[in-house]
Amino acid sequence: MSHSNSSCEILMAPLHGVTTRVMRESWYTRFSGIDRTVLPFILAVQAKGSKKNHFKDCLPPLTDCPLETPQILGNDAASFLETARTLHEAGYAEVNWNLGCPYPMVANKGRGSGLLPFPERIEAILNTVYSDSLFADGLLRLSVKTRLGRKSSAEFESVAKTFNNYPLSSVTIHPRVGTQMYRGEVDLEGFALAQDLIIAPVIYNGDIRTTEDYYLIHKRFPNISAIMIGRGLLADPFLAKRIREAQSGEETTTPAYTSPQWVEEVHQWYQDIYASYKTVLYGPGHVLAKMKELFSYLAPSFPDKKKELEHISRSTSFEVYENAVSLFFTAARSGSSR
């Protein structure tokens, strides 16, 4: 039901604890191709009484960057509205409701994908949200990020009917169910059925790792309004720009995947992030945990560098980490992994 778009937008997906403010600022400085970013979720809170650092990842809003949309995780309308109001007052024009998080610690509390088996609860929240002048008068837009269901894609039909009762700005669908986490193949048949049920513009999210993946999805689903890329953009931060160049037919100016120049650019990016984390986080434990997680998303690009990556994952001090990172990128520059 959504509109055809021959060159759809590209969004950066939210990855909690990974696509942080530090990571995003550095990415925007070095790379391009993204139109919008959905921020990692913040818990819905009675915002006026919450600690200031609860909003530190999205307040104040970044300037001179692609449009960013904060994401809220919650299952009661009152705290959702308080949180949304705080974000609106800071200058945001849209918030995204997380109805897709698959992690048991979230879903078992009836948040994220844990709400999908209960469309009546989703409807009750949306009724209250859209009764508030903030959303009723169009001062703040609401989009949703979701999955095909919690345990079964059969859950989606009732959820879609609920969504269609409200003027959502978009619905992003990850074509797995929550209990799958990120395992197994994406369910493209399920996505096709889900897309046809939704009135709002539909955004595709899931397993876009190459330009070819983008074209396969866009060819099969020409009516999607945008694609959202998460892990693929961490494995190849040039991916969005590659897609843009392929769309326009321009001669590529991006370094070949895992080429020495590509490795050098990624190395410099990681150095930027590392330096920033050392200024905002306390002690090697916190800083190295963030960097090790980033390397876990880069690891699929270097299947033959497992030993070097293990040295990074085992590092417990800045000195050991820095030496391990230097050895890894030196090895990576010596030749393509594929």
What's the pLDDT tens digit per position in 28-85? Answer: 999 999 999 999 999 998 866 566 688 999 999 998 889 999 999 999 999 999 999 9
DSSP H helices in 164-282: 188-197, 211-220, 231-235, 239-248, 260-280
Q: Is the backbone peptide bond immediately before 60 cis, with ω within 30 degrees of 0?
A: yes
| Residue 17 confidence (pLDDT) above 90 | yes
One-letter amino acid at 259 equals: S
What's the pLDDT tens digit per position in 200-252? Answer: 999 999 999 999 999 999 999 999 999 999 999 999 999 999 999 988 877 77
Parallel/antiparallel/unpaired status of strands 202-205 and 226-229: parallel
Distance CA 119, CA 330 (A): 52
CA quadruple 256, 257, 262, 263: dihedral sign: negative
Look at residue 253 in the predicted model and tell me its pLDDT: 82
What's the pLDDT tens digit per position in 272-313? Answer: 999 999 999 999 999 999 999 999 999 999 999 999 999 999
Look at residue 140 in the predicted model and tell me its pLDDT: 97
Q: pTM (2 decimals)?
A: 0.93
Q: Residue 229 in contact with residue 12, Cβ under 8 Å? A: yes
- Computed over every residue of the chain, the mean pLDDT equals 93
Q: Which of 81, 67, 70 is closest to 40 using CA atoms? A: 70
Q: Which of 301, 300, 291, 276 is closest to 324 using CA atoms? A: 291
Q: 237 in helix, strand or coil?
A: coil
Q: Residue 70 in contact with residue 58, Cβ under 8 Å? A: yes
